[in-house]
Amino acid sequence: MELSSKIYIAGHLGMVGSAILRRLKEKGYSDFVLRSLDELDLLRQADVENFFEKERPGYVIDAAAKVGGILANNTYRAQFIYENLMIQNNIIHASYKYGVKKLLFLGSSCIYPKNAPQPLKEEYLLTGELEPTNEPYAIAKIAGIKMCESYYRQYGCNFISVMPTNLYGPNDNYNLETSHVLPALIRKLHLGKCLENNDWNALRKDLHKRPIEGIDGTTTEEQILQILSKYGISLTSPFTLHPSPFTPHPSPFTPHSSPFTLHSSPVTISLWGTGQVYREFMHVDDMASACIFVMENINASDLYENPASVTSHQSPVTSFLNIGTGEDLMIIELASIVKSITGFNGNIVWDPTKPDGTLKKLLDISKLEQSGFKPGYTLEEGIKMVYAVYVEV
């Protein structure tokens, strides 16, 4: 890409797309064509093709997707497969039809088989059954990978795919119904800290910015406590609430007796699963840098025909490149890190009746590393940065 190239970023307002846009601007790229969801419905093929016919972008980065955590993936299965297939099909086909020079499609590490060997190499794609809870989303992303490869093989299109690991960072989704594990942990432990400190100003500020099922900062203390309890943030020992400056009387809420070990904090947070599964996390700015590195240095012919030109040694032909840190940790360890950073002092308990998802999803990033890219942030550094922004915004 040249600095003057015309670039279309699909999903530029989301966490991933906005990070890529920031990084491109920092590098000196300046000609962007951008559309919000209100301006361009990516589910409508005619609208997408009219947009491409009018704007004629030279380069396309497809970061648009319907995404969510394990609860959202398992609940909205039809929406996840339909909307993601439609979005990527429309963008990829229009890019071919209107002569896009290069396209980058972003997938997800959930494309790999549930019981694939670790770490996950690109060649493990389609070698086993998928994790059932996110199968519809994974199938859509696999279709996108194969679509890019097929358009190269039939039409010679310079369309390639990258598979990022679990991401976090600015513009993340903190909706407790649909968020991924790390932003959900950050928000739950922050709200738990506010509750244990009886800091109703901070609680109401958070809910004003990010209402939970219609409960915002103007609702009563009882309603707030009920919705927090629904999402696993509960008072679990005798605790007297002081009158809030926002309500004329003390809350009528009566805490239930605690089934847990007594703790100095009156708050217990319940988290899904056993906490014993492993996950890898990457700051979205590092992922954005990796995507731009790929756009500037790696072509479809390198990936599909001659992988030795991407890496320093001969390796199997693959359809995409992994993007990650090469390091993972147990979710219970992640919760401990977030607990320390947020300052929450209460109990964390695990609910094994809820699904864990895949046991381990560590990406093998040797191909990307050997091509010259390295991530910049450690996990603890990244979470501290994210939490500092979370409490300020």
278 catalytic? Reply is: no
- How far is Cα 390 from Cα 393, in angstroms, rounded to an integer? 6
Beta strands in 273-340 (DSSP E): 278-279, 281-283, 321-323, 329-330
Residue type, 237: S
- pLDDT at site 238: 45
Kindly report which listed range (213-217, 256-260, 300-304) carries the lowest average pLDDT score.
Answer: 256-260
Which entry of 59, 137, 304, 390 is annotated as an active-site residue?
Answer: 137
Q: Does 6-172+281-326+363-376 carry CATH code 3.40.50.720?
A: yes
* Percentage with pLDDT > 90 across the chain: 76
Average pLDDT, the chain: 89
Mean pLDDT calculated for residue range 162-175? 93
- pLDDT at site 316: 58
User: How far is CA 116 from each of CA 120, 326, 359, 369, rounded to the nearest angstrom?
Assistant: 7, 16, 10, 21
Domain ranges (residues) in the chain? 6-172+281-326+363-376
The closest of 115, 84, 77 to 11, measured between CA atoms, is 84
> Could you tell me which residue, 114 or 43, shows the higher pLDDT?
43
Rounded to two decimals, what is the model's pTM? Answer: 0.85
Cα angle: 165, vertex 170, 175; to 5 degrees = 85
